[in-house]
Amino acid sequence: MQKQRRLPPVWTMGLTNATFGMMGGFAVVTLPQILAAEGVPGGHIAAMTAAVISPGFWVFLLSPMLDVRFRRRTYALVFGVLTALGVGYTVLHHGNVAATEAVMIVAYTAAALYQGTVGGWTGSLITHEQDSQLGMWFNVANVGAGGLIEIIGAPLILHSPPVLAASVMTIVMLLPMLSFIAIPAPEPDKMLASESFGRFWREVASLLKRRDVLVALALFAMPSASFSLTNVLGGLGKDYHASPHIVSLFAGVGSVVAGIGGSYLVPQLAKKFPLRPLYLGIGFIGALFTLGTLLLPRAPWTFGLVFTGEIIFQSLAFTAMNGITFEVIGPDNPLAATLFTVLIAASMLPITYMGFLDGWGYDRGHLMGSFLMDAGLSMAACLLLAWLLFGRERRSRA
């Protein structure tokens, strides 16, 4: 069945994730900028941002519907359009803070469901040999499209007529969906769609009993390769005597270039190493890099090195994570979208709690405390997971 399909190039399927990347860039960078321009207090903006991106954790509760009733192309179109319209509404009415928050939560939920749909859809079409390639293009689309919105979003919205800005943002977010025309969309599993909900939920629950799924959940939920320092480094420029211009340069264009560059390395590494050990290796070596930077002088060039390095390692980890996710899904999986959404939700956990722990470490030891907290927990998680997962495999084979 797999061989009978005419699939477009892998990069075409991977770039479907650009719509989600744009929503991410808009929610965490552009929206706070335009709210600040309206005079909204910083604390309120931070709380709004946390609320808006919260569906990234709990949206997996809705994900099983993506695998029944309608083709995944249909779900992707519906949720992609809702995402774009939500952003367009926000551009027009961001002066109404309460309405903006409500609309953005709905739009981000739609974006997360969109990502789960296209991830499960494309991941169930490819062969195992293409897992790392699709994982790379998914991350390239996420980083590149998100960076584009981060760079042009606020200037466009703040310095253009509202209708023009809203139209441009909406159209740009819809463009990646043109590739849907070239991607085959198999019908959903008729048995899952027609039989009782009891059987359907038993099928969903059975996913969590598979060893490969449990291994992936452990890899993603523990802080083995989250590199959450990238989320706090933007506020630490003063510790390196870096000007706001330098911080903005590396947080904008620099992060996009480094993120895309890191993504391209994973398919080459995957030819030599299995993806799961590669993921842990990226986390461990990246933690060593984090610790090594503590030996460097606190200078602007050091900030650039640290920020670029952390982005590269995070991009490597996310690309490998995507590849593992597609590997676990496998070809023709009737619950592909559900599985993709569950695993991506697990990967959001360490990014969140490590952010709090990195901040706690900074409060007690400044850069030294924050970096030791991040790198120390990452190395410990990598060693523990390597011993539990791969040491047990060697012992069972013996």
User: According to DSSP H, which parts of the chain are helical?
Assistant: 10-14, 18-25, 31-37, 42-53, 55-58, 72-93, 97-123, 131-159, 162-174, 190-194, 197-207, 211-221, 244-249, 255-270, 275-292, 300-329, 336-385, 392-397
Check if the beta carbon of residue 316 is closer than 8 Å to that of residue 354.
Answer: no
As to burial, measured by CB atoms within 10 angstroms (0-12 exposed, 13-18 middle, 19+ buried), residue 239 is: middle
Check if the beta carbon of residue 270 is closer than 8 Å to that of residue 343.
Answer: no
Question: How is 316-381 classified by DSSP, letter by letter?
Answer: HHHHHHHHHHHHHH-TT-TTHHHHHHHHHHHHHHHHHHHHHHHHHHHHHHHHHHHHHHHHHHHHHH
pTM of the model: 0.86
Other Cβ atoms closer than 10 A to 159: 8
Secondary structure of 252-276 as H, E, C letters = HHHHHHHHHHHHHHHHHHHCCCCHH
Residues of the chain with pLDDT under 50: 1-3, 196-197
CA distance 263 to 314: 9
Domains of the chain, earliest start first? 7-187 (1.20.1250.20), 203-393 (1.20.1250.20)
Other Cβ atoms closer than 10 A to 289: 17
Closest of 100, 106, 105, 98 to residue 78, by C-alpha: 106
Check if the beta carbon of residue 265 is closer than 8 Å to that of residue 206.
Answer: no
Q: Determine the 3-state secondary structure of 141 from DSSP.
A: helix
What number of CA atoms fall less than 13 Å from residue 19's CA on the CB side?
A: 37
Check if the beta carbon of residue 123 is closer than 8 Å to that of residue 66.
Answer: no
Check if the beta carbon of residue 314 is closer than 8 Å to that of residue 223.
Answer: no
Check if the beta carbon of residue 132 is closer than 8 Å to that of residue 323.
Answer: yes
The tokens describing 83, both together, are 């995402």
Per-residue DSSP letter, 130: G
Helix pair 97-123, 18-25: axis angle to 10 deg: 150
Check if the beta carbon of residue 363 is closer than 8 Å to that of residue 369.
Answer: yes
Q: Give phi and psi for 226, each to the nearest 5.
A: -85, -35
